[in-house]
Amino acid sequence: MRSDDFMNAEDVARYLNLGKNTVYQLAKTGKLASYHVGRKLKFTLEDVEAYVSSIHHAPGAVPVHAPLSVDAAESEESLSEAASFGDLDGVPFVIAGDDTAADILAGAMNSSGMPTARKVCGSYTALVHLYAGEADAAVVHLYDQASNSCNVPYVRNLAPGASVVVFRLYSRSQGFIVRSGNPKNITTWGALLRDGVKLANRSKGSGSRVLLDEKLRAMEARAETIEGYDSHYAVGGTAIRHVASGVADVAIGNEREMHGISGVQFVPMQTEWIDLVVRKTPESRPAIKRLKELVASERLQQDIASLKPIDASKLGAIVYES
């Protein structure tokens, strides 16, 4: 795709791993440049990557309201056809994180009458925002090598003293995304250390970056020996496109991030859990009650299951509480 080729809202949502309603809001607020072609809303890859660069340097909060119906979203990509969005000011409940599940949860909360906003950032950063009181909840996927588990060790360390409840959302595979045929035969974490293997790395604060760093620490490997380790792609799709084009040999990510990108294949390396961390305060009690109801609902279960390939069989289970 050339930088000036037009993309529709669905393309942008897939590229950024966000919900389509978030894309519409970014366009409406002017955070993401957009163009009307007839009645349809269009974007360019150059503008999308400019937006990615801007949030990498100064992550912001993005409001998310009730998701569009499938028919409306697919037939009319115009802001006039989209759901209306309110201002972030005064929104009492904020969900941080960059996984699409956070968009789904925020949309479901708004649809149920509980005003909710989004703060788009990596998993590590999301927990920092929660601890600092800048978010009420965080959707995270953070692997801990020492315990061979996800999320709870980071909740304990990054939010000390905070009273929280952690809901399980789903599990998926993380691994290497390489060019089709895997010409460099990258099948182990140690393979990243070989001469001639170039990495398109994810940004600090992202779950994928944390996973890589944990694996390197377990091998007692020096990260600076990996060509491309100091690169920092805020969006998985951008890193994967660099692999597809031959600029890099490998990126860390999941299968869903590959959707719509040809010339790449997935090498599974680690199962990880995506969880929802909610800070317990007197103000958040109604939201926690609503979240418990939503994760037990058939509609939300179907929406989360649509993020395949995943395992959502433990959706809603409380895995930690303090």
- 196 Rama sector, left if φ>0, alpha if ψ -120 to 50, beta otherwise: left
Residue that terminates a domain, selected from 32, 56, 89: 89
Residue that terminates a domain, selected from 89, 124, 147: 89
Q: Are 171 and 254 in contact (CB under 8 A)?
A: no
Overall number of domains in the chain: 2
Q: In this structure, are 223 and 301 located in the same domain?
A: yes
Residue that terminates a domain, selected from 89, 116, 134: 89
Q: In this structure, are 317 and 294 located in the same domain?
A: yes
Q: In this structure, are 191 and 296 located in the same domain?
A: yes
- The model's confidence at residue 190, banded by pLDDT at 50, 70 and 90, is very high
Give the phi and the psi of residue 258 in degrees, each rounded to 5. Answer: -80, -10
**How far is the C-alpha of 206 from the C-alpha of 122, rounded, in Å?**
4
Q: In this structure, are 135 and 106 located in the same domain?
A: yes
Report which of residues 293 and 19 the model is more confident about. Answer: 293
CATH number of 284's domain: 3.40.190.290
Q: In this structure, are 184 and 37 located in the same domain?
A: no
Q: In this structure, are 37 and 166 located in the same domain?
A: no
**How far is the C-alpha of 218 from the C-alpha of 69, rounded, in Å?**
46
pLDDT digit string (tens) for 11-70? 888 777 677 777 877 777 667 887 777 667 888 887 887 777 665 444 444 444 333 333
pLDDT at 304 over 80: yes
Q: In this structure, are 1 and 20 located in the same domain?
A: yes
pLDDT of residue 56: 47
Q: In this structure, are 46 and 83 located in the same domain?
A: yes
Q: In this structure, are 51 and 69 located in the same domain?
A: yes
pLDDT of residue 43: 85
Q: Provide, rounded to the nearest whole percent, the portion of the chain with pLDDT above 90.
A: 49
pLDDT at 191 over 90: yes
Of residues 81, 91, 94, the one with CA closest to residue 130: 94
Q: In this structure, are 235 and 156 located in the same domain?
A: yes
pTM: 0.74
Q: In this structure, are 81 and 104 located in the same domain?
A: no
Q: How far is CA 149 from each of CA 142, 154, 272, 297, rounded to the nearest angstrom?
A: 9, 10, 8, 27
Q: In this structure, are 84 and 201 located in the same domain?
A: no
pLDDT digit string (tens) for 91-138? 578 999 989 899 899 888 888 888 888 888 899 999 999 999 999 999
pLDDT at 256 over 90: no
Q: What is the residue range of 50's domain?
A: 1-89
pLDDT of residue 180: 96
Report which of residues 232 and 311 the model is more confident about. Answer: 311
**Ranges 143-147, 226-230, 233-237: which has the least confidence:** 233-237
Q: Are 122 and 207 in contact (CB under 8 A)?
A: yes
**How far is the C-alpha of 216 from the C-alpha of 127, rounded, in Å?**
22
